[in-house]
Chains A and B, each alone.
Chain A
């Protein structure tokens, strides 16, 4: 019954054995291992480039979300100024969703940044090991009998292979993370794409699925509070007695304030 470390060792070792497949002739193994190492180092570089590309794409999406937040805020104000509270509420709900997504995207991009740095450091480490392997293989070729060379080579190749498998794992994790983030950001963007002012006015009496989802997602008390705040800023008369101010003291205060300003 192996522990976590035992299971992990097994997984990594299975990967390393792939590197050592051809082990009959020691001198052949040496060259083969070295070639394979150089080849895989290229993969690592490519993997890091992939992570950087994904990160840039996410940063682009972040920027779009940021623009969306500003736009929805403006739309909410315009709607309220025009006396359309329902529309303003919808805009604020969408803004709320966009903001929440933006925050989590921010955190994740920062994590990705950190992973990228780690991977670059790992690549350097791997490069050093491969260089060490190269000089060691020359020594082994020159000094040892075939049988002894075999033992020394496979140990050294295992050491390098382990480092490679490890960098590979780090890379896989970083890429998985970007995939998750990308899917999430894409989904939000789809929701947001429907959030233009034109579309909002065209919604009419019925609500679609997206609206219902948005309502569930966004915290309605936050939206109420923000609605009240904008009302106060606009001095847009008293709040309707209904849903607004139902439990939020902020909304009540906002309404009073606007009444005061109106009179």
Chain B
């Protein structure tokens, strides 16, 4: 599976990692909803680290990602706000 870390790039991970990814992802969401910043940072850092262990996808590879993670420096408030910003391509 291909996972993108927003503002960083894509990584290819073994399908077996899906479960641990999901677990950390849900943990991050629950910390986010509880407004627990230290726990959110810790969990989210673990999540990013796990993805970075994958194989970086080449620049000339056009495959889309299966999952997209928020940027590594995401704040709790940004995570809460669901990334509703406009960005390059107006939504």
Contact = CB atoms under 8 A, between A and B. Distances in A.
A173 B71 contact: yes
Given A125-B9, A173-B71, A3 B88 contact: no
A4 B29 contact: yes
Interface residues on B, range: 35 or more
A18 B86 CA distance: 12
A162 interface: yes
B62 A171 contact: no
Interface residues of A, number: 46
Among B59, B82, B87, max chain A CB count under 10 A is at B87
B89 A4 contact: no
Interface string B13-39: 000000001100110110010000000
A3 B29 contact: yes
Contacts of A131: 60
Interface in B38-91: 44, 59-65, 67-71, 79, 82-91
B62 A155 contact: yes
Contacts of B64: 16, 155, 158-159, 161-162
A190 to B, nearest CB: 27
A57 B40 CA distance: 34
Contacts of A18: 89-91
Contacts of A79: none
A240 B4 CA distance: 65
A170 B6 CA distance: 8
Contacts of A19: 89
A103 interface: no
A185 interface: no
Nearest to A160: B62
Contacts of A182: none
Contacts of B63: 155, 159
Binding site secondary structure of chain A: helix
A162 B68 CA distance: 10
Contact of A128 (B26, B59, B69): B59
B7 A118 contact: yes
B84 A11 contact: yes
A43 interface: yes
Nearest to B24: A3
Given A168-B89, A170-B71, A7 B83 contact: yes
Interface of A: 3-9, 11-12, 14-16, 18-19, 40, 43-44, 47, 118, 122, 124-125, 128-129, 131-133, 136, 155-156, 158-162, 164-173, 176
12 contacts: A3-B25, A4-B28, A4-B29, A9-B67, A14-B91, A40-B89, A128-B60, A131-B60, A132-B61, A155-B62, A164-B88, A164-B89
